[in-house]
Amino acid sequence: MMMADIATAFPAIEILRDEPLAHYTYTETGGPADYLAFPTNIQETKSLLAYANEEKLPVTVVGNASNLIVRDGGIRGLVMILTKMNQITSTGNTVTAEAGASLIKTTQVAQARALTGFEFAAGIPGSVGGAVFMNAGAYGGEISEVALSAEVLTPAGEIRTLTKTEFDFGYRHSSIQDYDDIVLTATFALTPGDGEAIQATMDDLNARRAAKQPLELPSCGSVFKRPEGHYTGQLIQEAGLQGLKWGGAQVSTKHAGFIVNIDHATATDYLELIHHIQAVIWEKDQVHLETEVRIIGEEPTTTA
């Protein structure tokens, strides 16, 4: 059965067919999307979803693809990358950003307005939508502390506004994950502060990040959630796994909580290395390392 040609239906939107997602993920891995669309506004996103629902095409939404692994078999149906929806505005003590806006740029807007509370996110490379989706955090701060509301598009195509209490935030969790909503915009409530002091804090956190994390190599960011009572990197180090290579992927020698692409790694290399680490840590410490990175897509087909 031939798939409906969504590119013909929306000539004004950039839509690519059979596009390798390795061109967009921070790991530089991932198989093809049947259709990859780049909507530029809320109406285009809503129209694409309505069309996909009508044609019974599965829909997957991706932000900045920084904390993401796409399996080598790729993704069927329609994938939307929202990074062209990137407007950021500020009113009073709030900052509102579209889902595809860079989280880093959003924190810079807050700093320029001398608004404090967002410094923790100054170096997180994700999009605003992805950050809200997973309640991103760093250096003791989390999105849950500053998120005020969000506009979301439900799988049925309805636009809703979620208030703070409806997010059901937890550790790397929000209700958006439970209902498959698409974040369109998010508004953050901040506090007036001193612009220079805010910038100094952001500079300090970014320097610490650069010193400890392998920012110079492709990676998916922090791979595992922190297990209660333990530090993930320490567990991996003590198990002798730091520096372990698996295909083109390697447990970072700079930070054992990261897996880096050192030699044309595939998503399968990443996933097999993740499973190996989980198995070793479970056998040695009886600690289950739960993945923080979002893993989507299909396994590659194998030929006999």
Catalytic (active-site) positions: 172, 222, 292
Please count the CA atoms within 13 angstroms of the CA of 3 that sit on its side-chain side.
Answer: 18
Give the integer Cα–Cα distance in Å for 189 and 205: 21
| Residues 6+ away with beta carbon under 8 Å from 302 | none
109 vs 134: CA distance, rounded Å: 22
85 Cβ contact partners less than 8 Å away, ≥ 6 residues apart:
39, 40, 41, 42, 45, 98, 99, 100, 101, 184
**The two structure tokens encoding residue 286:** 């009886």
The two three-digit tokens of residue 137, written as one number: 């955090």
**Per-residue CA distances from 106 to 89, 155, 232 (Å):** 9, 27, 29
DSSP per position, 47-108: HHHHHHHHTT--EEEESS-SSEEE-TT-EEEEEEE-TT---EEEETTEEEEETTSBHHHHHH
